[in-house]
Structure 1
């Protein structure tokens, strides 16, 4: 993919924006409830002696349903946004598993309220424990900032090769400094971590940044210099995760034959 390529979309009318914001909030609520139910079910299964897995590893070169690939499917790490549990991205996880990818969730993040460096350390620890290197990150919102830190601060370990970030405030979130909680205030452009990530340009060519034409939470701040930047005709910060345009971009990104994950040992 051409790192300089940028796809844009025209802003929708005001009425469509208002309706989109409502649908976006509803999508977030539905996913939070579903994630809580999944977590509760997993907890009951563990108490009953079952050992549920949050990572699935198909046989090398074999997709679900028995079809084969000429190259092994990429190992995908899903990193959700702030206040989003691992189950928030379950629809995407199931879709990718159905296409033969090994998908790694990171329940250690909880509701992802820790600092970006602490969150990156948690993800790095999970990848080390699983013996995974050269993984591909698919991230939402804050998850993209965590992913970029993994690509830069942990570059010597080679844990993460590339990333597709969705609704990530690479340029900072518009009203972040006025947010009511510390995790949300950490996204303003003047924050030291945000500044440090912005200065590291080397990794940008290995990132695809996808944003909505109207994002009520972060504005149009998903652009990343040197990356492939795509703007989809979607209103919302959350429901873009279910947009057919995004799903097509994810599949194209992971179909790149140079993006297969590697397992140590």
Structure 2
């Protein structure tokens, strides 16, 4: 008895069964499902992270608003508009607020020619809340990137920039100096890199503003490198006399040098008599 002949379709199905190959449409469907799943998971993750970041920022702004109203609004106004007792803070940016509050210059202890550094009155988190709130009200210079604060720039270039732009007030060795009307340029020894950068960026007190068009971020980093070099390197000439230059050196010679000469003269005269 003759066997029945298979149709072409049946033969094709039989070959697929033997080889175990999937249809091209199945592969495309699997790739599509994988892409959709990956994209959905990424979108969900980024949306959640963005929501968390937004919530944290809103909380900081809210906390900063309360701290500002309780501690700063008397002088600077509830809307940061300033009063006769204090300047406007609109547009000063996070960097200015962080510098003033973290160094204890603000809140101001008493009226005077300039605000002096003292222990900070707020915690790190409170300071962050304050500068986040002020920055949220109007744009301004932000907190410097940590990569610019490492002190690993060009100390020679920084020294030249410091001599040209800063030494006339702060002394070539960063020892500080007196200005007019009871004001002064503070010593820079031991000052944190962040506060040095923020001072250049915002120009607190009597200091001019060195924005990024005047001194680039890289050059600011070089100046910080030079000042940190001074902190870490002892005076190669021995006793530095406070790094105050010819005034202190002349006074030393006048008191001790001439004093020693006078003492020797008196001793020799007494011996001869």
Higher RCO (CA < 8 A, seq sep 6+)? 1
Name the structure with the higher strand share. 1
Instruction: Tell which structure's C-alpha radius of gyration is larger.
Output: 2
Structure with the largest fraction of helix: 2
Give the TM bin, normalised by the shorter chain.
under 0.3
Q: TM-score, normalised by structure 1?
A: 0.23
Give TM-score scaled by structure 2 length: 0.23
